[in-house]
Amino acid sequence: MTTVRTDVLDDLLWRGLVAQSTDLAALRAVLAAGPVTYYCGFDPTAPSLHIGNLVQLLTMRRLQDGGHHPIALVGGATGLIGDPKPTAERTLQTRETVADWVERVRAQAERFLSFEGDNAATVVNNLDWTEPMSALDFLRDIGRHFRVNKMIAKEAVGARLQSEAGINYTEFSYQLLQGMDFLELYRRHGCTLQTGGSDQWGNLTAGLDLIHRAEGGEVHAFATPLVTKADGSKFGKTETGTIWLDASMTSPYAFYQFWLNAEDSQVGTYLRIFSFRERAEIEALEAATRERPAAREGQRALADELTALVHGPAEHAAVVAASLALFGRGSLEELDERTLAASLAELPRATIPAGSGELPPVVELLAETGLFPSRSAARRAVVEGGAYLNNQRVADEAAVPTKADLLHGRWLLLRRGKRHLAAVEVTG
C-alpha cells in the first residue's frame, strides 16, 4: 500500500502554493484518507515549458511524494484551440506543429515525476478522447451542461468581450474542452482533484461543475499563485525573453544566472515554491538573505538546486565552473565550447569578422565593448592595472591579442576591475 503523508496540504499551505481552492476542509480530509488521483494540464503552446509551468510540475511532485497518484495531461486537443488571452486572439498552430510540441512537452513533464511504485505517474493526451467525438455529441453531451452567463464571467473572456476585437467561438469553447478533460479523467481514472495556476481558476471550476452536473460527483481543485517579481511584473520574463526549460531555448548558464540574480525580497517566496529543502533549511536561507544580502546565499541555493533539477548535475557543474572562471576563479581554457559560448552570450560584446587580419589593440576592444567610455579611459585603466584579457592583467597599453588568445578560436573575455565583463567574438 502507498503510504499517504497527512501533512502534505499543510506543507503546500506553508509554501504559499494554495492561492484558491474549493472546500479546504474537504480537500484535507480526502488527501488524508488515502491516495488521491489528481491531474494538471499543460498545453503545447510553444516547443518548451517555462519556469511558470515548473510551479505546477513541482507541485505535482510534492503531491506524489505525499503518496498521491499524478496524471500529467498534455493538451494535444486544447493546444489546437488555445486558452483565450485577455488582450488578443491567439494564432492557431498547424496540427503538425502542435503534435511535435506535444511530444516535447510530454518529455519535459515526465522528467519531474516518478513512474515507479504504487502511485506511479500517468501521462495522457486529451486528443485521444476529443478527436473521436462528433460536433453533435460534443454539443449534446458536454455543451448542454454549461451556462453561458457563467462562461462570460471568466476574466479573460470578459476582457475580450469588452474589446473591439471581441472573442471568437473557438476560443470561447476552450472552457468546455478543459471541463471535459476533468470529466474524462474522473470516469477513466477516478481522478478527483485538479491543480493549476490561479489564472486557470475559471477553467478548473468549469470541470467541477461539469462533473457535478453530468455524474453527480464531488471533486476538488486548488490553484497555485501566479509568481511575480518584486515590481509585480511577470515572473520568468527577462530582457532577452522567457526562461524556458529547454536548454536549446534558454541555456543552462542563463537559467542559472536567472536564479542567481533574483531580487532579495523574492528569494523567500521562490525558495518555498521551488525548493525541495526542508522547512528549517529554507527559513535559515531566508534569514541569511535578510541579514547578509551581499552573500546571496538564498539565490545561490536556488540556482544550484534548480539548475541541477532541470538540466542535470553535469550541466550544473559546468555552469558553476563557467561562473567562477569568468571572474578569474577557474580556468577559461577548461570550459567546453558550448558552455563558454552560452556564458559569454549574456555579456556585452563586440564582433570582429574572421579573416580581417590582425586583431585590434586591447584598448580599442575595451572601448568598443562598452567597458570604458573611450580609448583614453581604457589606456588609463591598463596603466593603473584595472584591465584584463582572458583573466590576465593587461600590462601594456599597446598590447594586441593574437589568434592564440582566442578561446576555442572564437572568443576573448575582457574585464574591468573585479566585476564588469564583456566579450569579443570573431564571427564567420
Q: Give start-end residues of each CATH 3.10.290.10 domain in the chain.
A: 347-428
Q: Minimum mean pLDDT among 7-21, 128-142, 149-163, 260-274: which range?
A: 149-163
Q: CA geometry: angle at 151 spanning 148 and 153, to 5°? A: 115
Q: What pLDDT is stored for residue 239 in this prediction?
A: 66
The answer to whether the CB of 219 falls within 8 A of the CB of 186 is yes
pLDDT band at 41 (very low <50, low <70, confident <90, very high): very high
Is the confidence at residue 202, as pLDDT, over 70? yes
Q: What pLDDT is stored for residue 2 in this prediction?
A: 54
Mean pLDDT of the chain: 92
What number does CATH give the domain 8-226? 3.40.50.620
Percent residues over pLDDT 90 in the chain: 79
Evaluate whether the domain defined by 347-428 bears CATH number 3.10.290.10.
Answer: yes
Q: Give start-end residues of each CATH 3.40.50.620 domain in the chain.
A: 8-226
Q: What pLDDT is stored for residue 1 in this prediction?
A: 41
Is the confidence at residue 310, as pLDDT, over 50? yes
Q: Give start-end residues of each CATH 1.10.240.10 domain in the chain.
A: 228-345
The Cα–Cα gap between 391 and 250 comes to 26
The tens digit of pLDDT for each residue in 372-397 reads 999 999 999 999 999 999 999 999 99
The tens digit of pLDDT for each residue in 47-96 reads 999 999 999 999 999 999 999 999 999 999 999 998 888 777 888 999 99
The answer to whether the CB of 160 falls within 8 A of the CB of 86 is yes
The whole-number average pLDDT for the span 213-224 is 96
pLDDT band at 356 (very low <50, low <70, confident <90, very high): low
The tens digit of pLDDT for each residue in 235-259 reads 876 766 899 999 999 999 999 999 9
Determine the length of the chain: 428
Architecture of the CATH domain 228-345: Orthogonal Bundle (1.10)
pLDDT band at 281 (very low <50, low <70, confident <90, very high): very high
The tens digit of pLDDT for each residue in 138-173 reads 999 999 999 888 888 877 788 888 887 788 888 889
Q: Residues near 82 by Cβ (< 8 Å), separated by ≥ 6?
A: 43, 45, 90, 92, 171, 174
pLDDT band at 233 (very low <50, low <70, confident <90, very high): confident
